[in-house]
Every structure is written in C-alpha cells, then in structure tokens.
C-alpha cells in the first residue's frame, strides 16, 4: 500500500515528542522535527520523489532521516517508533499541547507526580501539589488550568488553513480516479462556510453510481482508518486525526443536499421555518409543496429561489440576519479573492522573515498585485530581529531605489511598529513620518488587564502616523486566547482617526474575527487584509483572510487593499 507523506510526518512528530519527554539529546529531537516540517511542505508525491532520488536534496532531511523514511516506505512502519510507543505512555504527548507544559515539566510530573494524562494534570494542579516543584507557583497553576480549558475547547477542531488544502486534495484525487461517476463535487459543512476552525470535513458528491466513489474514497493514500462505509455516506480518519465525511446523493437532489449539509444548523432551522410559513416543506432532497410536488432540488440556487430568496453565499449562513437580508434584496456583493490588489504586512530577512524584498515582489506580481508594503519589526523586538533606526532608514533608501526601477508596481516603505507597554511607539515620530505605512501592533506584556491594554492601544492609535492596527486581539487559535481588550472602544477610536483594522490572514490568527469585522463595517471603518508573511509561501494565506472578510459581510469597498494602486495612493493621502 502507498505511504503518504502525512503518515511519515506524524511518526516523526511523535518521535520528537516522545524523545523530548524522555530527555534525549535536543539535536536528535530537532532532527525529527525538521524532517517532519520539510515533509509537510513537500511539493510532490513522497514515493515518487524518493524513487527519483530527490529527497536527499531537501533541506531538513539528512542521511539518518532518509534511511528512516526508506524503512517506512518499505515495511510501512518504523521499528524505533513502535519501541518508543511502548516505553512512553501515549497520553503524555497530549500534555505537551497545553501551553506552559514543556517536555521537562512533563517528565518531572510523570516521574515525581505520576501525572499520565490531562485529567491527572488537572487534579495535580487543583490540589496545589504543583507548587511544591521548583519554579512553580500560583501563577503557573492559573496558566496551566487556563491552558487545559483552551485545549479542551479547541480539541478535535483544526484550522481552516489545514482543512481547506486537504479537502481540495480529496476532491482532486477522487476526480482523477473516478471522474466518470462524479457529476458534481463540493465541500459542505463549516468548511464551505469558511469557519476559522473545522470539526470535520464534509464533502458532497452528485452521482448515480456511488460504489466506485466510496471505494476510491476509503482507499485514499492518507486514510488511517475507515470509520464507516455505506452507499450514501462514508467516513474516514486521516493520519493527522481528521475526520472526513463523504456523502453521495442523486443529481436531482444535489442542490438541496448541499444546502442542508452546508448548514449552519441554525441557518437551516430558520430556512425551514420560512418554508413552513410559505406552506412548503424543505429537506435534503428538495423543496416540496403540501401535496408532495417537488419545486426544486437539483441546484442550490433553485432551492433558495423557491423560497423567494437570492442565492445566499455560504459564508453568510450563520443565522446572523442573512435570510432577512435576502428577503429585502440586501445580500452584499461579497469581496472576491481576485479583488485583492496588494498585501500591506510583510516581513523580509531584514527582521524575522526568510526572503528578500525582490523575491517578495516577484511573487506578488505573479498574484496580480499592484503593490506591497514591507513591514519588518521595530527596534525593541529583538527576538524578531527588529530593525534599528539606521537599518530602517537604509531599508527605506533601498525601497526607493527599487521603486525607481519598477513600472506599474510599488513597494511601500513600512514598519510593524511595536506598541510598547505604556502605549508609546517603538520609533520616534521623526522616523515614523518617513514611512508610507505604519502598522501598530502589540507583541509584549500580553497579560495586562483590560483597561491598561485598551488605553495602551488607544494611545498608540492616536499617533498621527499610525495607519493600521494589526492582529487586533493577538489570539492564536487553539494556542493562546485573545488578550483582554475593549474592542468596542478601540473601534470607536479607529473610526474617529481613520485607522484601518487588519484582518490577519494567518490561519492561526484570522484576527479580527468575523463578528467584529461585521461590527467594524457597520461603523464604516475600513479593513485591510494582510498575510503577515514571513516567507514567500505565506503570501498564499490571503484567501483565508478573504473568506474571513466574507464571513464579516465585507464588500470590495470596505477593504483598503482591494483598491487599485492609483486609488490606494489617493486614499493614503487622505
Ligand atoms: P463542524 O464540523 O463542527 O465544524 O460544523 P459543521 O457545520 O460542518 O457540522 P457537521 O459536520 O456536524 O454537519 C454538517 C452540516 O449538516 C451542518 O452544518 C448542518 C447539517 N446538519 C447536521 N446535523 C443537522 C441537524 O440535526 N439539523 C439540521 N437542520 N442540520 C444538520
Ligand atoms: Ca463538518
Ligand atoms: Ca460531518
């Protein structure tokens, strides 16, 4: 059987965790992590690359790792991994996912406190036994308990940024293996609605011959386990622990099924009530009259039309007034991916990015952009290679030079300026005024109380040179909660001062979140969708930001970087 890269990635990541809990040499641990990282970003099929002898050229895969990959490809498993799994309890790994819990702590708690899993950890902390260990106090207890809650609430949900590429892969692979039997195929569920995290992936197929499709689905190379296999529905589990549900329906009810399985549940309930009020019945097979006459079912558009509604975009189907808007003919013309003309938050190797300005321009042009802003970190963010004033001035000069050679494309001189603890900015005004785009952002002292944080941010936004407030809540999905901040007040100031609020397109951030985006729009605040790229490939995060903007009901007019270069230049001088 074919071995998918995701299987090797999982084995290597687990090896790294097990070894680190055992307290093994950090270099060895790192070797596994690096190889897993490299394999995760592999372009091409693992086995094919291996047979072409191309794996050894990939950075991160050394000789030792190559041999291990070889073993897995040959016998389907790695003996060293099987051994480790017997030695270290599997549940200990899970403890590493709790913020504040490093491998050393896990090891100590296991050996000294017999803490084997999350439940043990919770009891251990609640009974204040943790305090007896060196370096641990009341603060650590609090942080760990908060971490446990965060972990539990996100457990089993994965990022849109991970689910979407996987779903696309499933669709491509199914199409290539059983295309004659597939009439139509589409994602459904929360994935189609573009939610920031996904519980399971739902895919819907229209076909009159389901069995070859179900066969192909359950034999996809990344299937770890087949949970169910039937004529109309099958479910699988992938190597990265993700469930995918595939439903096959007949072509004449595809539209109704797509509406039903896209949800959300509360959108469906509202829609059904509307149908009842009109004396109709709606289910996953179609829309019917009392007498059982079928009015619609083949296309989603017809399903909505039979209820006197325009097609409601999936991203709006969260029961947030979309049906009422449809009724009044007020469904917005949502922003499209092609509408984006630039990216205004990008790091280069001058700070903690990986690429040069020139490389980034190349990629941006390929995307059809007309401008980008280079926004490296400011001085005091030392860990992120923040630029001193001198280096920033040099960078501005360099950018001027580049611009003099460019036609129809512009690089804006920018900076992601740290908002210091007291709300002051990390460069003096004389420096800020030399920049085209000043982004203000919080990176440190994230645990300040709500009032202190809010005042701090507002003070920064009142600086006349600040244009953008980036990743406004600092959340990292599944990893770190938003810092406490009064967004209502911050938006009020943004509105007064014409500050653009960022929708950060990094899959872990998607910050500002959909509900607040909608609120910002209501107050006529402009938003800007940025990738915050630290690597060329991160420029590809843009679609996740666009989906999130659509979930916030945004149209082209609401988004600053949907302006053409000349329009954008005008808006800059306003
Ligand atoms: P998830 O997977 O937790 O991210 O969220 P969804 O929305 O994808 O939920 P899922 O996978 O349980 O079900 C997919 C869709 O199927 C859901 O959005 C709406 C529809 N659906 C599922 N169960 C029900 C139900 O009991 N009633 C109604 N009206 N719709 C349902
Ligand atoms: Ca789902
Ligand atoms: Ca599902």
The overall average pLDDT reported for the chain is: 94
Q: What is the pLDDT of residues 172-190, one digit of tens each?
A: 999 999 889 999 999 999 9
What integer pLDDT is reported at residue 281 of this predicted model?
97
Q: What is the pLDDT of residues 516-544, one digit of tens each?
A: 999 999 999 999 999 999 999 999 999 99
What integer pLDDT is reported at residue 309 of this predicted model?
98
The atom of ligand 1 lying closest to the CA of 189 is 8
User: Is the pLDDT confidence value at 100 over 80?
Assistant: no
Place 156 in a pLDDT band, splitting at 50, 70 and 90: confident
Cα separation of 126 and 142, whole Å? 9
The atom of ligand 1 lying closest to the CA of 267 is 29
Q: Which residue has the higher pLDDT, 8 or 42?
A: 8
Ligand 2 centroid vs 371 CA: distance in angstroms? 37
Find tokens 């051994």 and name the residue.
83
374, 413 in Cβ contact below 8 A?
Answer: yes
Q: Which of 190, 246, 274, when mutated, tests ligand 1's pocket best, judged by the most ligand atoms within 8 Å of its CB?
A: 190
Which DSSP symbol is given to 174?
H
Q: What is the pLDDT of residues 395-429, one digit of tens each?
A: 999 999 999 999 999 999 999 999 999 999 999 99
Ligand 1 centroid vs 284 CA: distance in angstroms? 12
Cα separation of 245 and 170, whole Å? 11
User: Is the pLDDT confidence value at 154 over 80?
Assistant: no
Ligand 1 centroid vs 510 CA: distance in angstroms? 22
Tokens read off for 420 = 């210091």
The atom of ligand 1 lying closest to the CA of 157 is 4
What average pLDDT score do residues 378-395 get?
A: 94
Taking alpha carbons only, the member of 338, 337, 369, 353 closest to residue 538 is 353
Ligand 1 centroid vs 199 CA: distance in angstroms? 10
Residue 435 neighbours by CB under 8 Å, 6+ apart:
396, 413, 414, 415, 465
217, 210 in Cβ contact below 8 A?
Answer: no
What average pLDDT score do residues 502-517 get?
A: 97
Q: Which ligand is nearest to the CA of 247?
A: 3
What integer pLDDT is reported at residue 339 of this predicted model?
98
- Give the pTM: 0.86
Q: Which residues line ligand 1 (CB under 6 A)?
A: 189-190, 195, 198-200, 202, 260-261, 263-265, 268-269
201, 245 in Cβ contact below 8 A?
Answer: yes
User: Is the pLDDT confidence value at 164 over 90?
Assistant: yes
The atom of ligand 1 lying closest to the CA of 197 is 4
What average pLDDT score do residues 253-260 get?
A: 98
Q: What is the pLDDT of residues 16-33, one digit of tens each?
A: 999 999 999 999 999 999
């Amino acid at each position: 059987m074919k071995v998918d890269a995701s299987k090797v990635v999982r084995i290597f990541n687990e090896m790294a965790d097990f070894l680190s809990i055992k307290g093994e040499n950090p270099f060895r641990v790192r070797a596994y992590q690096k190889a897993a990282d490299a394999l995760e970003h592999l372009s091409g099929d693992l086995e094919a690359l291996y047979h072409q002898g191309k794996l050894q050229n990939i950075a991160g895969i050394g000789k030792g790792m190559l041999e291990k990959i070889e073993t897995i490809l040959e016998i389907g498993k790695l003996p060293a991994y099987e051994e480790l799994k017997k030695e270290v309890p599997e549940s200990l790994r899970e403890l590493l996912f709790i913020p504040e819990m490093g491998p050393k702590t896990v090891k100590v708690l296991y050996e000294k406190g017999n803490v084997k899993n999350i439940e043990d950890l919770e009891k251990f902390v609640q009974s204040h036994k943790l305090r007896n260990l060196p370096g641990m106090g009341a603060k650590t207890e609090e942080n760990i308990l908060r971490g446990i809650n965060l972990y539990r609430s996100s457990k089993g949900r994965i990022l849109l940024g991970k689910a979407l590429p996987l779903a696309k892969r499933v669709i491509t692979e199914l199409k290539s293996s059983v295309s004659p039997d597939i009439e139509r195929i589409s994602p459904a569920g929360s994935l189609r609605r573009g939610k920031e995290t996904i519980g399971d992936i739902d895919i819907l197929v229209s076909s009159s011959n389901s069995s070859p499709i179900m066969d192909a689905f359950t034999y996809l190379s990344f299937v770890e386990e087949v949970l169910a296999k039937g004529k109309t529905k099958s479910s699988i589990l992938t190597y990265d622990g993700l469930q995918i549900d595939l439903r096959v329906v007949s072509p004449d009810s595809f539209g109704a099924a797509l509406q039903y399985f896209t949800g959300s549940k509360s959108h469906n309930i509202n829609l059904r009530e509307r149908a009842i009020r009109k004396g109709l019945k709606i289910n996953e097979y179609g829309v019917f009259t009392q007498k059982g006459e079928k009015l619609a079912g083949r296309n989603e558009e017809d399903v909505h039309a039979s209820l006197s509604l325009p097609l409601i975009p999936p991203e709006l189907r969260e029961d947030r007034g979309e049906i009422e808007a449809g009724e009044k003919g007020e469904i917005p013309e949502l922003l499209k991916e092609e509408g984006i003309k630039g990216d205004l938050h990008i790091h280069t190797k001058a700070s903690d990015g990986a690429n040069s300005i020139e490389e980034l321009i190349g990629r941006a042009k390929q995307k059809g952009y007309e401008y980008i802003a280079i926004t490296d970190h400011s001085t005091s963010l030392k860990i992120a290679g923040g630029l001193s004033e001198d280096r920033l001035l040099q960078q501005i000069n360099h950018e001027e030079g580049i611009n003099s050679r460019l036609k129809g494309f512009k690089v804006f001189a920018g900076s992601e300026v740290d908002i210091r603890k007291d709300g002051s900015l990390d460069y003096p005004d004389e420096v800020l005024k030399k920049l085209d785009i000043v982004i203000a952002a919080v990176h440190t002292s994230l645990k300040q109380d709500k009032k202190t944080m809010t005042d701090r941010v507002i003070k920064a936004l009142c600086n006349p040179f600040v244009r953008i407030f980036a990743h406004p809540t600092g959340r990292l999905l599944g990893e770190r909660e938003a810092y406490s901040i009064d967004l209502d007040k911050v938006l009020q100031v943004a509105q007064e001062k014409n500050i653009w609020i960022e929708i950060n397109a990094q899959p872990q951030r998607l910050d500002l979140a959909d509900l607040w985006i909608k609120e910002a729009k209501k107050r006529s605040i402009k938003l800007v969708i940025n990738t915050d790229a630290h690597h060329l490939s991160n420029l590809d995060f843009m679609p996740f930001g666009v989906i999130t903007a659509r979930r916030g009901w945004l149209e082209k007019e609401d988004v600053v970087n949907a302006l053409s270069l000349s329009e954008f230049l005008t808006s800059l001088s306003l």
